[in-house]
Amino acid sequence: MMAKEESSIIRQEAVIAGKIITLRDEKVILDVHLAELYDVETRALKQAVRRNRDRFPDDFMYELTDDEIDAMVSQNVIPSKMYLGGAAPFAFTDNGVAMLSGVLKSKKAKEVNIAIMRTFTMLRKMLLVHKDVMKEIDVIKRTISDQDQNIQLIFEYLKQLEQAKQQELDQQHRKRIGYK
């Protein structure tokens, strides 16, 4: 039974990870996706947040601009503006999701919150590994770039050497004039 429960948690975290997007250089999850996960209406979730607005500073949660909404539609993050129900969505950072646990008090909300927080943590760890890999790739690129410059320099020297040899050959094969 434990393996089945563990498999369910992994599937749930995979679903959550698919809903986390990057906006304003931060990993966030939209209110519409949170409402879906919490199994509540988006309207109810927004009302709960608005009633407790002092718990959600701008670094925990913010409202999307029209340009951000258009970008999400064009990138297929959401199917259309109609998907949002006419209201601008809220984007919640991991801290904002943690704060939601104090606002939404159902058992399901607590379980989903734990899963979301684990997913954010997993993504953060993956990002750290990704940064290490990217640093190594940058070192390799710099090395290759240096080699490219060295190869170009070698070709330039070869070209100059070839021109010098050609001039020498031309000098040897020219028609001699003057006294013999």
Which amino acid, 23? L
pLDDT value at position 62?
92
How confident is the model over 58-78, as a mean pLDDT? 81
Residue 80's pLDDT band, with cuts at 50, 70 and 90, is low
Quote the CA–CA distance of 106 and 122 in Å, as a whole number. Answer: 24
pLDDT of 9 > 60? The answer is: no
DSSP string for 92-159:
E-HHHHHHHHHH--SHHHHHHHHHHHHHHHHHHHHHHHHHHHHHHHHHHHHHHHHHHHHHHHHHHHHH
pLDDT tens for residues 122-157?
Answer: 877 877 777 777 888 888 888 887 777 788 888 888
First to last CA, the chain: 108
Output the CA torsion sign for 70, 76, 82, 84. negative
Does the model's pTM come out above 0.75?
no
Alpha-carbon separation of residue 120 from 19, 61, 86 (angstroms)? 11, 15, 28
pLDDT of 48 > 80? The answer is: yes
Quote the CA–CA distance of 140 and 133 in Å, as a whole number. Answer: 11
pLDDT value at position 84?
65
pLDDT of 7 > 70? The answer is: no
Q: Which residues lie closer than 8 Å to 52 by C-beta, 6 or more apart?
A: 102, 103
